[in-house]
């Protein structure tokens, strides 16, 4: 089914756009014109100009836009943010040698999750001064 057919359906309120980045702008324009709320997979767009255009199109269409940044909803990441915000810790860093894995979660973030689950692993945290 062509995604444009989905945009014509009245029983669909929102769409998730997970196309190659260079195709986002057209799909977002069409979805916004059709009055569909949009979940856009990250990266928002390949250029700042396209990001600005996407924001304009969404505003003109009166729809909501959310970037799919799933990491912000992972319990360990929420806990780390709460610790930073509260001042219980004032710094966290990921050692440069840790890289992203195939599910988009760094080894350190996996370490946070394991630690939350009760498993010990090295972790770089500095408390308040």
The per-residue pLDDT for range 34-82, each reduced to its tens digit, is: 999 999 877 888 889 999 999 999 999 999 999 887 666 778 778 888 8
Shared domain for 39 and 8, answered yes or no, is yes
Give the CATH number, domain containing residue 52. 3.40.50.720
Domain boundary among 68, 83, 110: 68
pLDDT of residue 111: 56
Query: Minimum mean pLDDT among 45-54, 67-76, 95-104, 110-119: which range?
Result: 95-104
- Domain span at residue 117 reads 71-126
pLDDT of residue 89: 80
CA–CA gap between residue 113 and residue 120 (Å, rounded): 10
Position 98 pLDDT exceeds 80 = no
Shared domain for 8 and 64, answered yes or no, is yes
pLDDT of residue 100: 41
């Amino acid at each position: 089914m062509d995604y444009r057919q989905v945009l014509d359906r009245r029983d669909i309120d929102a769409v998730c756009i997970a196309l190659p980045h260079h195709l986002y702008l057209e799909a977002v324009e069409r979805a916004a014109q059709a009055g569909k709320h949009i979940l856009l997979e990250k990266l928002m767009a390949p250029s700042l100009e396209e990001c600005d255009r996407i924001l304009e199109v969404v505003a003109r269409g009166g729809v909501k836009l959310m970037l799919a940044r799933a990491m912000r909803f992972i319990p360990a990441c929420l806990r780390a943010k709460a610790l930073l915000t509260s001042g219980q810790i004032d710094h966290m860093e990921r050692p440069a040698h840790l890289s992203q894995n195939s599910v988009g979660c760094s080894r350190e973030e996996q370490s946070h999750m394991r630690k939350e689950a009760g498993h010990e692993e090295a972790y770089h945290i500095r408390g308040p001064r």
